[in-house]
Structure 1
Amino acid sequence: MDDPTTTQTVSDAVARLYNTYPFPPEPILDQAPPGYNWRWYWPTVHSFCTGAAPASGAVRVLDAGCGTGVSTEYIAHLNPQAEVLGIDLSDRAIATATQRCQSSGATNVRFRQLSIYDVDQLEGDFDWINCVGVIHHMPDPLRGLQALATKLAPGGFIHLFVYAAIGRWEISLMQRAIALVQGRQRGDYRDGVQVGRQLFASLPEGNRLKQRERDRWAMENQRDECFADMYVHPQEVDYTLDSLFELIDQSGLEFVGFSNPEVWQLDRLLAADPALLERARQLPQPDQYRLIELLDPEITHFEWFLARPPYPRWNWEDNAALLAAVPTRNPCMEGWPSQSIFDQNYQFVTLTPQEVDFLKACDHHNGSGSGQPPATVADLVAESGFTLQDVQQMQQRQLILLR
């Protein structure tokens, strides 16, 4: 979309939506936010993208399209050495984000009302950009992504999230139905929420749209802010894998991988027929992804990392390099210390006694404030009886970070 007038009109409409319904509508706390999201923690982001933890946490971070600052606040608290900037179109969202971070004591963050199209106004490059749920609401998503790419430092990473067309088919139908009923009142977002709720209430039991809303979205959509963001947004582009990779190919950046890789494993869907699974695995990787997209209409979004080369990659297959690495426990886990934990993806994991001992040794020797000299994998293997294969598996499962 090249018409600047149209682009500005759509951008203004998006800003009006979020001034009417600031999003996300999370409560403001007087303490650091609870829990974690590994995609908002620089060591785990760097480890996912490169295989190794970073040498330093002193990075510049841009939260592009930060909304009310929920992600920005997490990034600031999880990465106290980082310099964090949040930008958004909506002045009301920026005001909320500022209040949120002031209340929780996040002092390494600042905010600015600014369009992603205008990031060339920002000084310097960023090591890490977070842009989740944003570019699909831009009148020209490619232009937005290319603008962000110009601000990504060499060796830097950007995490993105866009909607998936197949998994949001019912949402798309209801969006169009609400717009039809609204007619000339389209753009009155409060009216749109009312019309949408009336439509859902009026549809007969068993209706596919009604059932999908009830089964998948109704709990979060109790809040008008969420309902409006989903059903009356003035601008939305939903992607298929084909259109997604067209976008990536034109971004000037390199695809690192989906940040939810467990979703993109064929055995998740085809394990019941080993012969068929093996046949599907012979497909080129892009076609394996396409097959998963077609077979699982529950996939409602794509989330992935891009990088600006050059950046290092470690796979830790070199035993000498692995033995010399320094392991730390991934702090993105809940329930530790225990054999039963939630891992960085909030998946329930039962650790073996040997894994528990190894993680405890990591904390003792290499944990924050341990006061101990750094212990290498070689040191801990000799101490625990762990094998190098065991260490590799823990790293692949992101239970430990290696540097």
Structure 2
Amino acid sequence: MGRGNEAGEICRQILARDPAHVQSLNLLGLMAQASSDHRGAVKMFAKAIAADEVNAACHYNAGNSYQSLGNRGKAVAHFTKALALGMEGKAVAFILQSPVITAYGARIAGKWPLPVTNVELFGTEGVTPLANDLFLRCAMEATTLASMQLEVLLGHARAELLRLAGEQGEDNGEVDEDIVAFACALARQCFITEYAYGQAAEESELASRLRDRMLQDLASGAAITPLTLAVVAAYFPIHAMPETDALLRRDWPATVAGLLRVQLHEPLEEMGERAAIATLGPIKDSVSVEVMRQYEENPYPRWTINPLNAFAADQARGKIIQTAEQQASLDILIAGCGTGSHAIQIAQVYPNARLLAVDISMTSLAYARRKTRELGLRNIEYAQADILELGTIDRTFDHIESVGVLHHLVEPMAGWRVLVSLLRPGGRMRIGLYSSLARRVIVEARARIAARGYRATADDMRRCRQDIIREAEHWRTLIGAKDFYSMSGCRDLLFNVMEHHFTIPEIAAFLNDNGLSFLGFEPFDDATVIEKFHKQFPGAADEANLDQWHRFETDHPETFWDMYVFMAGKNAH
């Protein structure tokens, strides 16, 4: 309301009674920030963080003030902490609020659907204004930036850095360290997305030439500039090139060393992890073999931020109190663990449990095992297996999780029955399946892909994505999906080898035929879903009634866009 003095006085009155009141400290800091008193602001944010060190918003706000004060080290530290503590999902929204980003977006939109040139977009300043955005740099290193607007902008920035690196090779001039740091952050973003950005033929040719020149210099022992290395890494994964482990023996600035850790050191570690992963039975079904090949080439999902952070933050605030079941010594099966994020979260929720996490992709398992070892978790055993063959392992479990996996089997219900056979009486399972109603846009997109002859190759998937971006109005649902913004996600979403869809009556029939009781859907991200559900069945709404949920979904087909995720219990007798 613009009544800052009054708001400040209310905050001070609260702090007189409760000196560690985080919201008041944070608000006073924001008011100081708005008045350009950044020294006063950081003092308030520091007090707020001392009272609640896992408050992502306070770390983000502190980062902004430290950046305004020119203390880049502290700004980066606070921004990185904010992203790790749960701001990851809000990063795009915060980045798009930046006046610099808004200005670039307006220039791109002013020419749309025609392409804007880099001269029109960046003018004489080049990418310097982008390079000076420390939160953007931190976010690019930390998470997939799922935004069509940002992807288009960063694609232009990558091409501009490629031009700059080519010119640097001609005159060997020095490049500002912020430009190099920005190039490294962009290369890490491109690696996270598995090089999903579109690129013109001329750009691809220039990038290939720069890569070849860098490899020649590496072989001959000649100098390689940090910008050259970063730009090459923004177009090609360093670990996939010959003899690049020699790069680790050279001295680099910290930003380049961080890039090499992600693109070279960690992939080499994952190759070493494969030997320690057991295989439980054969993978012989022809569709299972094709699915395995898909996830070997595109392990899904490639995640970076530690999933324990947000859980630990909520636990520290007392928002999570472990139940007796969560503290028990349970045997848990994760059937289809992918790259390990799911298994790691379950290991945190059930710290005394013994977890067996299986997946069909050895590449995904190696990634999962490396991340698990980094986090110091010791209660997860990883193994390669086909769910259809798990009935031979001679083990049973108190709890089974299989989310987003069964619908990729040649016979999902056969795989589900195998899991039921492994569940002890009275045990529970958490299942995730695609909805026929919610996935209609995916069916339409896959039909379009088949008609245009796109294959599941990197080049074809990039071209397909660019087609969808050009027809953005029609494909809003797809463009709003995080999976659209990485190659593994896009392949999982639109090019999957095998994908089945289900209806609620089909799920109800399976539960009834296999001695399972429906225990409810997971809480919805959209809090209004339950409100609408109760409004549709006034006085008679039953959240455990699948018939009611089927009627509700028929009227609201977007309800289960991600998938049906629900708990089921195995009857004791």
1:22 is matched with which residue: 286, 289, 299? Answer: 299
Secondary structure of the 1:278 match is coil
Q: Counterpart of 1:213?
A: 478
Deviation at 1:122, TM superposition (A): 2.2
Partner of 1:11: 288
Aligned to 1:75: 346
Match status 1:293 vs 2:556: no
Query: Residues 156 and 106 from structure 1, CA distance in 2 versus in 1: closer, same or farther, beyond 3 angstroms?
Result: same
Matched, 1:57 2:328: yes
Shift of 1:256: 2.1
Match in the other structure for 1:354: none
**2:424 is aligned with 1:153:** yes
Q: TM-score, normalised by structure 2?
A: 0.45
Q: Which residue identity does 1:36 align to in structure 2?
A: F
Cα deviation for residue 192 of structure 1 reads 4.7
Shift of 1:277: 4.5
The residue that corresponds to 2:570 in the other structure is 308
| Counterparts of residues 171-210 of structure 1 (less than 5 Å) | 171-182=442-453, 186=455, 188-203=456-471, 206-207=473-474, 210=475
Q: Aligned AA for 2:517?
A: E
Q: Whose strand fraction is larger, Structure 1's or Structure 2's?
A: 1
> Pick from 361, 377, 387: which aligns with 1:90?
361
- C-alpha separation between the residues in 1 aligned to 2:292 and 2:522? 28
Going from structure 1 to structure 2, the CA distance change for 1:59 and 1:280 (only over 3 Å counts) comes to closer
Asked if structure 1 preserves the Cα contact closer than 8 Å seen for 2:432 and 2:566, the reply is yes
Work out the CA distance in 2 between the residues paired with 1:282 and 1:28: 37
Aligned equivalents of 1:35 and 1:278: distance in 2?
36
Which of 354, 373, 379 pairs up with 1:108?
A: 379
Q: How far is 1:213 from its partner? A: 2.1
Q: 1:247 pairs with 473, 486, 510, which one? A: 510
Deviation for aligned residue 1:233: 0.5
Deviation at 1:288, TM superposition (A): 1.7
Q: Aligned equivalents of 2:528 and 2:508: distance in 1?
A: 18
Shift of 1:220: 4.2
Name the CA shift for 1:124/1:245 in 2 (closer, same or farther; >3 Å): same
Q: SS state of the match for residue 440, structure 2?
A: helix
Aligned partners of 1:253 and 1:307 also within 8 Å: yes
In the TM superposition, what is the alpha-carbon distance from 1:121 to its structure 2 partner?
2.8
Determine helix, strand or coil for the equivalent of 2:497: coil
2:222 paired residue number: none
For residue 223 of structure 1, the aligned residue among 486, 497, 501 is 486
Kept in 1: contact 2:327–2:351 (CA 8 A): no
Letter matched to residue 552 of structure 2: I
Inter-partner Cα distance in structure 2 for 1:302 and 1:255? 12
CA RMSD of aligned residues (A): 3.3
Q: Which has the higher helix share?
A: 2
Question: What is the rounded CA distance, in whole Å, between the counterparts of 2:422 and 2:444 in structure 1?
Answer: 36
Deviation at 1:270, TM superposition (A): 6.8
Residue of structure 1 in register with 2:156 after alignment: none
Aligned-partner SS, 1:182: coil
Deviations 1:337-384 (A, max 9, x none): xxxxxxxxxxxxxxxxxxxxxxxxxxxxxxxxxxxxxxxxxxxxxxxx
Tell me the CA shift for residue 11 of structure 1: 0.9
1:198: Cα distance to partner?
3.1
Shift in Å, 1:234: 1.0
What is the rounded CA distance, in whole Å, between the counterparts of 2:546 and 2:533 in structure 1? Answer: 17
Amino acid corresponding to residue 213 of structure 1 in structure 2: L
Residues of 1 paired with 2:514 and 2:366: CA distance? 31
Aligned to 1:291, the other structure's residue is in SS state helix
- The runs of 5 or more residues in structure 1 that have no matched partner are 1-6, 38-43, 312-403
Q: Secondary structure at the match of 2:400?
A: strand
Q: Secondary structure at the match of 1:34?
A: helix
Q: Partners of 1:279 and 1:201 in 2: how far apart?
A: 45
Give the match's secondary structure for 1:225: helix
SS at match of 1:260: coil
Secondary structure of 2:429's match?
Answer: strand
Classify the secondary structure of the residue corresponding to 2:285.
helix
The 1:124–1:182 alpha-carbon spacing in structure 2 relative to 1, beyond 3 Å, is same
- Figure out how many residues of one structure are paired with residues of the other and give that number: 283
Structure 1 contact 76–82 (Cα < 8 Å) conserved: yes
More relative contact order, 1 or 2 (CA 8 Å, 6+ apart): 1
User: Do the aligned partners of residues 280 and 124 (structure 1) sit closer, same or farther apart at CA in structure 2, a change above 3 Å counting?
Assistant: closer
Are the aligned partners of 2:515 and 2:571 in contact in 1 as well (CA < 8 Å)?
no
Partners in 1 of 2:543 and 2:396 — Cα distance? 38
Give the conservation status (yes or no) of the 8 Å contact 1:63–1:84.
yes
Deviation at 1:287, TM superposition (A): 3.3
* Counterpart secondary structure, 1:307: strand
The unaligned stretches of length 5 or more in structure 2 are 1-283, 313-318
Please say if residues 266 and 288 of structure 1, whose CA atoms lie closer than 8 Å, have aligned partners that are also in contact: no
Structure having the higher Rg: 2
1:303 deviation in Å? Answer: 1.0
Distance 1:156 1:283 in 2: 21
Partners of 2:326 and 2:351 within 8 A in 1: no
Separation in 2, partners of 1:126, 1:284: 24
Determine if contact 1:253/1:306 at 8 Å carries over to the other structure: yes
Q: Name 2:394's counterpart in structure 1.
A: 123
Q: Secondary structure at the match of 1:238?
A: coil
Change in CA separation of 1:55 and 1:231 when aligned onto 2, cut-off 3 Å:
closer
The one-letter amino acid paired with 1:288 is Q
Rounded to whole Å, the distance in 1 between the matches of 2:404 and 2:358 is 14
TM-score (norm 1): 0.63
Q: Tell whether the 8 Å contact from 1:266 to 1:292 is kept in structure 2 after alignment.
A: no
Matched residues, percent identical? 24
